[in-house]
Amino acid sequence: MAALAAMRSSCRGAGRLVCIHRVRSCSSIRFIKSKYVCVFDKSALKFSHQQRLFRTSAVLCGQIVQFKLSDIGEGITEVTVKEWYVKEGDSVSQFDSICEVQSDKASVTITSRYDGIIRKLHYNVDETAYVGKPLVDIETDASKGVAPEEDVVETPPMSHEEHTHQEIKGHKTLATPAVRRLAMENNIKLSEVVGTGKDNRILKEDILNYLAKQTGAILPPSPKAEIIPPLPKSETVPAAPKDKAHKIPVSRPIVFSGKDKTEPITGFQKAMVKTMSAALKIPHFGYCDEIDLTQLVQLREELKPLAQLRGVKLSFMPFFIKAASLGLLQYPILNASLDESCRNVTYKASHNIGVAMDTEQGLIVPNVKNVQVCSVFEIASELNRLQSLGSAGQLGTNDLTGGTFTLSNIGTIGGTYAKPVILPPEVAIGALGKIQLLPRFNGKGEVFKAQIMNEASDCLKKKERKKEDLICYSVIRCIKSCHYRSILQNCKPKLSIACCEDARHKLKHQIIEQLFCFSKCKSPLGCSYQDLTALNCR
Amino acid sequence: MVLQSSLKSCLQLSCILKTPKAGFRSTMSGGLIIQSISNDIYQNLAVEDWIHDHMNLENGQVLFLWRNSPAVVIGRHQNPWQECNLRLMRQKNIKLARRRSGGGTVYHDLGNINLTFFTARKKYERMENLKLVVKALKALSPQLDVHVTDRYDILLDGQYKISGTAAKLGRMTAYHHCTLLCNADKFVLSSVLRSPYKGIKSNATPSVPASVKNLFEEDPSLTCEMLLDAIAEEYATQHQIDHHITLVNPADETVLPGISNKTEELQAWEWVYGKTPKFSVSTCLNMVYKDSVIDVKVDLDVKHGRIEVCNIDLPEQWLPPALCSELVDSFTGSKFCPNEITTLATTLLRVCPQDDEMHSRWNLLCENMTRLM
C-alpha cells in the first residue's frame, strides 16, 4: 500500500526499522504521527512532508462502499437522475443530499448513508438509474478504534434503515461516525454532551453548541441544517451541560468552515463597470450648495391631494426636474454632449432628464422625455410610470436611452450629501439630498425654521481654458440662478413667483402655468388660468 | 364552513410544531389538518418545505389545504420558457414559482384548491390519497362522474382533467400534493400555459397538455370552501381524528421558525430560473427596420438560467463589428432575462460612439433579443 511504501522510504533514510512494526500494529493515524515527531529529530523537515503524505495516503485505506439506490416505494424500479449535488472527490457526511432523481411526477432527494468521499458517480444527468443498483461509490473513513474514544460497532446498513444505531459496549452514546470524529478532534467526551436527536442521539449541532459554550465563541450555523430540526434547545435539553460548564475553560480550536467565494462579474454589472470607468475618466468639476425649500414643501402639500385626484403620486422630484429644465433653457451647454475626440459639442434640443433609480439589479437611469414642454403634473405622471416599470423590471430600451441630463436623489435613502458621477455621454449631473428641518438665521439675525436640502452638481470640465471658465461659471450661475434656485426657494402657496432681474413677463406666466399644471382649461379649484395669474404675481 | 369550524388553534399548532417529537407523541394520534391563511404561492410552498424538513411524521400525518392568487407553478426539473408564456405573465402580473416536487406545470388561482398529504416516507401512497378526494367529491355531489387514472390524474366525465398530482420524497418524510379545479379562469389558464418561444431544445421534463374543466361547470352549487370542507371531513373520518382545521400563518416566524428564509429561497431568481436544466435556443429574429425586414440567426446555450454561449448572425456592417462583438461578449454570462438584457445593453450604449442611427439599430436588436425571453 502507498502508506507503507512511504514509511519504508523514510525509514531507510533514517536507518530504523522499528517504525514499520508500529505501522502494522496501530491503525490510528494520530498515534503514528506523534511518535514520529519525537523519534526522528534530525530529518524533521523530511518527515513533516512524510506526515502529510501519511495523512492523505492513510485516507485511501478506507473501504469503498457501493451505495445502492434504495426502494422508492409504489413498486417503482427505475428513475431518472436529474441533478447531482456532489461530484467525484467531494466529501460527504451521513444524511447529506447526494442527488435528485425523478420518477413519474415524484422528485426524490437521495441522501448519503455514509460519511466519506465520493469516488464514483454511476450515472450522468438524464440517465436512468435502477433501484437496487449502485448509484455512487463512497470511500468511507477507516473506523477509529483508539482509546480514549469508545469502540464503534457499525451494524450493517439495511436498505430501509436510515438511522444506524450504534450500540457501544457498555456505554450507550448514540452518534454517527462524523460526530464522533468531530468530538474526538476537539477533545470532547461524548458522555458530557447532551444529544437532541432522536433517542437522545448526539448531533453535529450539539457538539458545536457545546464548543460554543466552552469558548464563548459564536459559531456559524451548520450548512446542512435543513436536515436537522432547529428546535429551541431549552425545551428538549435537560440542564446537564450547564453543570459541567463551570470547569476552567480550556482554549479549544474554533471550528469555522466558511470559505471565500469568487464569482465572475457578468451581465449588467459588467456593463456598469465599463460605464463607471469611462465616467471617472471625465475631468470633473463639482459644486455643492444648500437650498431653502420651505416654500416648496408647503406648495407640495397643497398640490398633493389635487394630483391624487387625478391618480398621480406627487413627490418632490417633478419640481426639481422641471426646475432643472428651466435652468437648462438658460444654459444649454449643460444639456450637451461631447464627442469622443472632444472636438465637437452637440447641444441637444430635448431635455430628457434622467432620474437615477435604485433597483435590485443596481443603478438604473430611465429618463423623462422632453421636459421642456411638460408641466409638473405631466412629469409626475410619467415619473410614476417609470417607477412602477422600474420596480417590476420592465423598463424598455426607449425609457433607458436618450438621456441628456441626470438627477440623482440620495435623499430617499436618507443621505444629505453626495458627490455624483457624470453618466456619459452627458456633461452634467445633479444630486439631491434629504430635506431636513434646520435652524437658520434670517437677515435680522433671528433664528427661523427652514427646510434645507443639500444639492451637489457635477459637470464636465473641458480642456480649453475659455470653455472651462464658461462651464464652471455656468454651473454656478445655474445653481444660484433664479430659474433654478429661486423657483424652488421662493414659490409661495398663494401662487406668486419671485423672479430675479432678467425674468420676462411671458416667462413668468409660463412658469406659473407649468408649475401648477393648469393649462387653458379650468382648474379643479374652479378658477381659470387667468385668475391665477392675476393673483399675487410680483 | 371551513373557517367557522376551525377554532383559535394557532397556539395548539405552535405547541405541536415547536416540539414535534414530544408534540406528536403526546397530543397527536393519527392526523392534523391545517389550512393556510395566505394566498401567496411562495409562502405556501415554504410551508410545505418547512413541514417536510421539520416535522416528525412517524406517528402522524398532515393534510395541508391552500389556495393561491394567480400563479403558474412549474415542476422541479422543468423549463419555464418551454412551459408558459412568461411575457404574458409579466404583463398580467402573474407570478412564476418552481416547486420542489416533480411533475408538470399548473396554473393556480383562487378558483383552484391545493391539497398536500404529508406522511412518513414508508407510508407514501398516492392512490389512497386521490381515492379519498374522489370519495369526498362524490359525497358532496353524488352525480359527479369523477375517477382516478393510473397517471394519478382525476378526470371528470372521463375526459376532462380536474386534478394533477406531484410528489416529493425525502429521507424520512414524503408528500403528495394535487390541485383541484373548482372555478378557475380557464381562459387565462390556457393562454398562460402556452409557450410562444420557438427553437428551444431541452431535456427538461415536459408537461402533458390536457383539456380541463371546472367542477363548477358540472355542479354550479360547488364552491372552493365546500370542497375544502368535504375533503377535510373525509380525511378526518379515515384517520379517526377530529374534523378540526387549524389555521396557519406562513409569515409567522414564531410558529414556523426559519420559514421566511424558505420563502426567500423559493422567490430567488437562482431557484425559479436558475434551476432550469441546460437548454439551447436556435431561432431567427425577423427585425423590421425602416422599410425592410432583416433576418438574424441567433444561437444561444443557456445554463443555470444564464447565457453560456451566444452567437448572433447579423448582416455585414449592419452594426460595426467591434460593437457587435462587444454586445455578444456582454450577453455571455448574463441572465436569460429581458430586464437584464435591456439594462445591460442600454448601459453599454453610453460608452459607444454617439450616432443616432447606430443607437436605433442597437436598440432594435436588443428589443428583438428580449422577445426570446
**Cα dihedral B25→B26→B27→B31 (10° resolution):** 20
Measured in angstroms, the CA of A392 and the nearest CA of chain B are apart by 8
Within this chain, do residues A373 and A440 fall inside the same structural domain, yes or no?
A: yes
Q: Does A395 touch chain B (CB under 8 A)?
A: yes
Q: Looking at residues A26-38, what average pLDDT do you find?
A: 41
Residue B114 has pLDDT above 60, yes or no: yes
Residues 6+ apart with CB under 8 A from B114: B44, B65, B66, B67, B68, B108, B177, B178, B179, B180
Q: Does A160 touch chain B (CB under 8 A)?
A: yes
Could you give the percent of chain A with pLDDT greater than 70?
A: 55
Q: Looking at residues B298-308, what average pLDDT do you find?
A: 94
Residues 6+ apart with CB under 8 A from A434: A410, A411, A414, A415, A416, A453, A454
Could you tell me which chain B residue has the CA closest to the CA of A127? Answer: B203
CATH of the domain at A349: 3.30.559.10
Highest average pLDDT, of A202-206, A207-211, B15-19, B192-196, comes from B192-196
Measured in angstroms, the CA of A121 and the nearest CA of chain B are apart by 19
Residue B27 has pLDDT above 80, yes or no: no
Residues 6+ apart with CB under 8 A from A89: A117, A118
Could you give the percent of chain B with pLDDT greater than 70?
A: 92
Reported as a pLDDT band with limits 50, 70 and 90, residue A221 is very low
Within this chain, do residues A457 and A364 fall inside the same structural domain, yes or no?
A: yes
If you average pLDDT over every residue of chain A, what do you get? 66
Q: Looking at residues A364-387, what average pLDDT do you find?
A: 91
Reported as a pLDDT band with limits 50, 70 and 90, residue A433 is confident
Q: From A209, A224, A259, give the residue that closes a domain.
A: A209
Is A230 within 8 Å of B347 when comparing Cβ atoms? no
Segment among A250-254, A423-427, B92-96, B365-369 with least mean pLDDT: A250-254
In DSSP terms, A279 is beta-bridged to none
**How many structural domains are present in chain A?**
3
More confident: A524 or A127? A127
The answer to whether residue A392 is domain-embedded is yes
**pLDDT for A338:** 77
- Contacting residues of B for A276, CB less than 8 Å apart: none
Residue B127 belongs to what H/E stretch?
helix B126-140
Within this chain, do residues A129 and A193 fall inside the same structural domain, yes or no?
A: no
Within this chain, do residues A327 and A436 fall inside the same structural domain, yes or no?
A: yes
Residue B261 belongs to what H/E stretch?
helix B259-267
Beta strand spans in A42-161 (E): 64-68, 78-84, 91-92, 97-103, 106-111, 116-121, 128-130, 134-139
Within this chain, do residues A194 and A125 fall inside the same structural domain, yes or no?
A: no
Q: Looking at residues B256-279, what average pLDDT do you find?
A: 94
- Contacting residues of A for B323, CB less than 8 Å apart: none
In DSSP terms, A431 is beta-bridged to A408, A456
Q: Where does A412-517 have alpha helices with state H?
A: 465-480, 487-490, 505-516
Highest average pLDDT, of A110-114, A229-233, A392-396, B94-98, comes from B94-98
- Partner-chain residue, chosen from A108, A226, A275, that has the shortest CB–CB distance to B347: A275
Reported as a pLDDT band with limits 50, 70 and 90, residue B273 is very high
- Contacting residues of B for A400, CB less than 8 Å apart: 342-343, 346-347
Q: What is the CA radius of gyration of chain A?
A: 37
More confident: A279 or A399? A399
The answer to whether residue A54 is domain-embedded is no
Could you tell me which chain A residue has the CA closest to the CA of B340? Answer: A268
**pLDDT for A417:** 55
Residues 6+ apart with CB under 8 A from B139: B230, B233, B234
Q: Does A274 touch chain B (CB under 8 A)?
A: yes
Within this chain, do residues A136 and A181 fall inside the same structural domain, yes or no?
A: no
How many A/B residue pairs have CB atoms within 8 Å?
A: 168
Is A74 within 8 Å of B126 when comparing Cβ atoms? yes
Residue A195 has pLDDT above 50, yes or no: yes
Residue A273 has pLDDT above 80, yes or no: yes
pLDDT, one tens digit per residue, over B309-345 is: 999 988 888 888 888 888 888 899 999 999 999 988 8
**Quick one: DSSP state of residue B297?**
E
If you average pLDDT over every residue of chain B, what do you get? 88
Residues 6+ apart with CB under 8 A from B312: B296, B297, B298, B324, B327, B328, B365, B369
Which domains, from first to last, does chain B contain? 30-273 (3.30.930.10), 279-371 (3.30.390.50)
Instruction: Name residues 78-107 of chain A within 8 A of B (Cβ).
Output: 82-83, 95, 100, 102-107
Residue A34 has pLDDT above 50, yes or no: no
Reported as a pLDDT band with limits 50, 70 and 90, residue A454 is low
Q: From A491, A507, A527, give the residue that closes a domain.
A: A491
Q: From A91, A117, A140, give the residue that closes a domain.
A: A140
The answer to whether residue A123 is domain-embedded is yes
The answer to whether residue A48 is domain-embedded is no
Range of the domain at A371: 284-491
End-to-end CA distance of chain B: 44
Cα separation of B346 and A275, whole Å?
10
Measured in angstroms, the CA of A268 and the nearest CA of chain B are apart by 4
Within this chain, do residues A430 and A296 fall inside the same structural domain, yes or no?
A: yes
- Partner-chain residue, chosen from B152, B335, B342, that has the shortest CB–CB distance to A397: B342
Residue A92 has pLDDT above 70, yes or no: yes
Reported as a pLDDT band with limits 50, 70 and 90, residue B88 is very high
Within this chain, do residues A442 and A324 fall inside the same structural domain, yes or no?
A: yes
The answer to whether residue A102 is domain-embedded is yes
Highest average pLDDT, of A345-359, A455-469, B205-219, B350-364, comes from B205-219
Residue B11 has pLDDT above 90, yes or no: no
Highest average pLDDT, of A102-116, A522-536, B151-165, comes from B151-165
Within this chain, do residues A134 and A185 fall inside the same structural domain, yes or no?
A: no
Cα separation of B351 and A423, whole Å?
9
The answer to whether residue A420 is domain-embedded is yes
More confident: A418 or A80? A80
Reported as a pLDDT band with limits 50, 70 and 90, residue A247 is low
Residue A129 has pLDDT above 80, yes or no: yes
- Partner-chain residue, chosen from B20, B340, B346, that has the shortest CB–CB distance to A400: B346
The answer to whether residue A503 is domain-embedded is no
Residue A45 has pLDDT above 60, yes or no: no
**pLDDT for A66:** 87
Contact yes or no for B107/B184 (Cβ under 8 A)? yes
The answer to whether residue A262 is domain-embedded is no
Shortest CA distance to A56 belongs to which of A85, A24, A33, A34?
A: A33
**pLDDT for A183:** 76
Cβ neighbours of A230 (radius 10 Å): 14
pLDDT, one tens digit per residue, over B212-250 is: 999 999 999 999 999 999 999 999 999 888 888 999 999
Residue A528 has pLDDT above 70, yes or no: no
Within this chain, do residues A331 and A472 fall inside the same structural domain, yes or no?
A: yes
More confident: A418 or A96? A96
Is A106 within 8 Å of B167 when comparing Cβ atoms? yes
Measured in angstroms, the CA of A275 and the nearest CA of chain B are apart by 6
CA angle B69, B74, B80 (to 5 degrees): 110
Is B342 within 8 Å of A95 when comparing Cβ atoms? no
Residue from A268, A343, A363, A460 to probe the interface with B (highest B Cβ count within 10 Å):
A268
CATH of the domain at A199: 4.10.320.10
Is A400 within 8 Å of B366 when comparing Cβ atoms? no
Q: Looking at residues A291-312, what average pLDDT do you find?
A: 84
Within this chain, do residues A336 and A199 fall inside the same structural domain, yes or no?
A: no
Q: Looking at residues B258-283, what average pLDDT do you find?
A: 94
Is A267 within 8 Å of B334 when comparing Cβ atoms? yes
Is A105 within 8 Å of B354 when comparing Cβ atoms? no
Residues 6+ apart with CB under 8 A from A332: A347
More confident: A355 or A452? A355
Within this chain, do residues A106 and A200 fall inside the same structural domain, yes or no?
A: no
Is A266 within 8 Å of B332 when comparing Cβ atoms? yes
CATH of the domain at A102: 2.40.50.100
- Contacting residues of B for A229, CB less than 8 Å apart: 20, 53-54, 56
